Amino acid sequence: MKVTVGVSGGIAAYKAAEVVRALQRQALEVRVVMTASAQQFIQPLTFAALTGHKVITSLWPQHHDRNSYDSDMESSIEHIAEAQWADALVVAPATANILAKFAHGLSDDFLSTMYLATAAPVLVAPAMNTNMWEHPATQANLETLRRRGVRVIEPASGPLACGMVGPGRMAEPELIATAVLNALGRSHDMAGETILLTAGGTREALDPVRFLGNRSSGKMGYAIAEAAQSRGAKVILISGPSALYPPPHVELVRVTTADEMRNAVLARMAEATLVIKAAAVADYRPVNVADQKMKRTGPLTLELVPTEDILAEAVRNRRPGQLIVGFAAETENGVENGRAKLLRKGVDAIVINDVSKPEIGFDSDANAATFLTLTKAIDLPEMPKRKLADRILDEVVALRRPQSLLVELGATQVPSREEKQAAVRRQIIIE
């Protein structure tokens, strides 16, 4: 399959070479289109050498013979030919300017003209200064593009070339390549699945202005939603309050409290072939919620009652063939605690997050996990959350494959009663 990489003019333009390499590693044929300002940062020759193709640098012929109608004609229809050649267009880095041009249909250079002319999936990997990224004009342009089906590969947070620290750093090249593969539908291995997915944290009100909450940002759950959707699944995303934009074509159900999440899950359970509970649900809620804002009158003791365990309830309501995957945030003895949780809750798998490491986990862009089933503990080392989402889904998809429990256990071990029960739930053949 063929991909056009559009390079626009930001400091991250040098990373576009890595994007080209990452796409080539996936056996994709790559061509490059550069804007004029991109050429201030990196030479077309770099991309020509990497791709073995001429790099398109202008809408107009560079050394054309003004008397030759043919050469003008050839160049002016080149954008149409390129637009037809590409199975996907990915712009990396995408500057605020090129996003604005795309959003408003301007077409005064090759890349923006090709964007209008292509019917292929379009992806943009924005990279810019934090203030430019957060500016309402940029966000409005992104929203317009998202609504039109453009896939936005979110920038990461971190130190930027301008000296600021914040969102705006172009997503890692590997992540961009994964997004392109998904957009190309190269892996549609979740077609036919309907996923009921919970994400984010819940909030339990104390009074009209205060609540008990947790640090979950929803990033992991939203990444799973996007990954599953691009692998062909239908996704119902039940989300606690989150600042994230829902991925395109995902049905979003917003909830606030654990009880609202429970009702939403139970209401939609019957539609799902797969339930993934990535939400950080409150374990307790206040017995009383004050009608008016509480005043500071001295020491305060809150009385809390446990919330319903939604995951356990989902397992009790499970229908045949439905897979249920939980998450477990652990700060110590992850695999041990996760295994106990797996058995206690009766789920098919648990994704264990070690939330004791500040650089990964809550609100960060990277995460590491252990995918735990009754018989396996698969270590998923630190990687961007979007990539981890795909790795988790790879393991979930593998649960569907008919397999012998004895093969899973290693042929010598006799399965225990618990293992046999879990195998029956997962429709594993016991030999």
Contacts of 398 (CB under 8 A, 6+ apart): none
Nearer to ligand CTP, 138 or 307 (CB): 307
Contact 348, 395 (CB under 8 A): no
CB of 62 to ligand CTP, least distance (A): 58
Nearer to ligand CTP, 173 or 338 (CB): 338
- Catalytic residue flag (residue 191): no
Per CB under 6 A, the list member of 309, 343, 375, 421 interacting with ligand CTP is 309
CB of 262 to ligand CTP, least distance (A): 7
Our measurement of the distance from residue 35's CA atom to the centroid of its chain's CA atoms, rounded to an integer in Å, reads 28
Q: Applying CB under 6 A, which part among 32-40, 145-153, 233-241, 304-312 lies near ligand CTP? A: 304-312
Contact 226, 389 (CB under 8 A): yes
Question: Considering only residues 249-278, where is the footprint of ligand CTP by CB under 6 A?
Answer: 258, 277
CB of 41 to ligand CTP, least distance (A): 44
Question: Considering only residues 180-199, where is the footprint of ligand CTP by CB under 6 A?
Answer: 198
Question: Considering only residues 198-237, where is the footprint of ligand CTP by CB under 6 A?
Answer: 198
For position 396 contacting ligand CTP by CB under 6 A, the verdict is no
Q: Applying CB under 6 A, which part among 83-91, 111-119, 150-158, 302-310 lies near ligand CTP? A: 302-310
Query: Could you tell me the sign of the dihedral formed by the alpha carbons of 206, 354, 339, 375, in that order?
Result: positive
Convert residues 16-45 into a mask of x (bound to ligand CTP by CB under 6 A) and - (unbound).
------------------------------
Contact 380, 393 (CB under 8 A): no
Our measurement of the distance from residue 214's CA atom to the centroid of its chain's CA atoms, rounded to an integer in Å, reads 21
- Both tokens of 67, joined, read 């008397």
Contact 262, 184 (CB under 8 A): no
Per CB under 6 A, the list member of 310, 342, 360, 396 interacting with ligand CTP is 310
Helix (H, G, I), strand (E, B) or coil at 121: coil
Query: 217, 203, 201: which is closest to 157 by C-alpha?
Result: 217
Helix (H, G, I), strand (E, B) or coil at 228: helix
CB of 300 to ligand CTP, least distance (A): 24
CA distance 30 to 41: 20
Per CB under 6 A, the list member of 103, 181, 223, 311 interacting with ligand CTP is 311
CA distance 149 to 124: 11
Per CB under 6 A, the list member of 279, 349, 372, 393 interacting with ligand CTP is 279
Nearer to ligand CTP, 312 or 406 (CB): 312
Size of the site for ligand CTP (CB under 6 A): 14
Q: Applying CB under 6 A, which part among 28-36, 225-233, 308-316, 411-419 lies near ligand CTP? A: 308-316
Q: How many helices (H) and strands (E) does the chain have?
A: 17, 19
Helices (H), 10-56: 16-25, 38-41, 44-51
Nearer to ligand CTP, 89 or 274 (CB): 274
- Both tokens of 325, joined, read 């995957």
CA distance 309 to 311: 6
Contact 167, 13 (CB under 8 A): no
Nearer to ligand CTP, 253 or 409 (CB): 253
CA distance 252 to 221: 12
CA distance 126 to 96: 7
> Which is the catalytic residue, given 49, 140, 162, 340?
162
CA distance 413 to 25: 40
CB of 35 to ligand CTP, least distance (A): 45
CB of 196 to ligand CTP, least distance (A): 12
Nearer to ligand CTP, 309 or 408 (CB): 309
Question: Considering only residues 313-372, where is the footprint of ligand CTP by CB under 6 A?
Answer: 326-329
- Both tokens of 232, joined, read 């062909």
Instruction: Render 403-424 in DSSP notation, one character per residue.
Output: -BHHHHH-TTPPPPHHHHHHHH
Per CB under 6 A, the list member of 125, 153, 237, 281 interacting with ligand CTP is 281
Nearer to ligand CTP, 56 or 236 (CB): 236
- Site residues (vs ligand CTP, CB under 6 A): 198, 258, 277, 279, 281, 283, 307, 309-311, 326-329
Which residues are designated catalytic? Answer: 162
